[in-house]
Every structure is written in C-alpha cells, then in structure tokens.
Amino acid sequence: MTAGYSITLARPGDVQALPAIELAAARLLEGHAPESVLNQATDLAALRAAQAAGRLWVALAYGVPVGFAIVEMLADGLPHLEEIDVHPSHGRRGLGTLLVRAVCEWAGRSGFAGITLTTNRDVRWNMPFYSRMGFTEIPAGRIRAALAEVVDEETARGLDPAARVAMVHRCKTKP
C-alpha cells in the first residue's frame, strides 16, 4: 500500500463522499452489469445506519475517503459484505484487499462463523480476487434463505443470476 492511505471505521463526515466513489467504481463494470445498476448508489440512510452500527469502513487518502466497504446484517444474523468500492483513481494500491481484510477480521472478532458476499462470476477481478482472499463458492443448494433473498433482489435489479456467485469466508473467531 502506498504511503498516505489508511483503513478505518467510517466517521459520520465520511458518508457523504461514498456514493460518488461507488458510482465511479461501478463504471469498471460496464459490459458486465446493466446501466440501471451502474447508475445506482447505496442510499445515504443505509450508509449512515451502517456507520452508526460500526459496519462501514473507509479507505482514506490523507484523511479523504477514496473507498469503502459496508456490511449488512441479513435476516438470519449472517453478516454480508454488501458493497466494496475503491475510486478508480486510487485502484491497484491494495486498498480493496485491506478493506476485505478489515471486514473479515471484524466478523471473526465479533464471533461470526463467516461472512458472505455475492459477486460476478465472469469478471476477472471479482470472483478470483475474493477466492484469493479466502472466500469459497457456496453451492446453490446450500445458500441460506436470507442470502437467496439478496440474489433475488440483484436479479430484480437486472443482474444475471447465472453470472453471479455467492461466496463465504469462514472466520477464525477471536475473543
């Protein structure tokens, strides 16, 4: 990682900058996701709620947000990495890796057995990246109901379910 960058829990003042980061990062998925998805950012209320609950991390460049990761708690108490983005002008510096590590370490410290996510199966920097980070594919017949709802919501937004994959990272719980 380059000097001047850090990963930390988001501060209330960081939230306002995050939708623009998400929209800029989404442009990297042109050709893999419909425009309706590429032009949609996480609602500020959801970001504020996650920040207040300690489930929103930011990548900072000299104190300014340039990336973030948000964890949603699914209905059955399963933490889910809902969104992770790094502004393209700050990409390829290890910030995504550090954000994922921060989220996985939080899940382990919090006593969760695992954390899930959904991603693109056929985009070279998605599923392979998460696989290198220790995530494994969840077989279709083993997807919990709350995670299946996430997949259904993604399908309703226009994402091709055949191109998506649900993954889990098994946590080493720490007291």
Check whether 173 has a pLDDT greater than 60: yes
Q: Is the pLDDT of residue 2 over 90?
A: no
Residue 122 has a pLDDT of 86
Q: What is the pLDDT of residues 16-28, one digit of tens each?
A: 999 999 999 999 9
> Which residues, at least 6 apart from 128, have a Cβ–Cβ distance to it below 8 Å?
none
**52-56, 73-77, 130-134: least confident range:** 73-77
Q: Could you tell me where the beta strands, DSSP code E, fall in 50-163?
A: 56-61, 64-73, 79-86, 114-120, 136-137
Q: pLDDT tens digits, residue range 32-58?
A: 899 989 999 999 999 999 999 999 999
* Confidence (pTM): 0.94
Q: What percent of the chain has pLDDT over 70?
A: 97
Q: CATH: 3.40.630.30, 3.40.50.150, 3.40.50.1970, 3.40.50.620. Which one for 5-170?
A: 3.40.630.30
> What is the structure's pLDDT at 175?
57
Residue 74, pLDDT score: 95
User: What six digits make up the tokens of 40?
Assistant: 């949609």
Ordered by start, the domain boundaries in the chain are 5-170
pLDDT of residue 1: 55
39, 58, 71, 156 from 100: Cα distances, Å: 23, 11, 10, 26
Mean pLDDT of the chain: 94
Residue 164: pLDDT band by 50, 70, 90 thresholds? very high
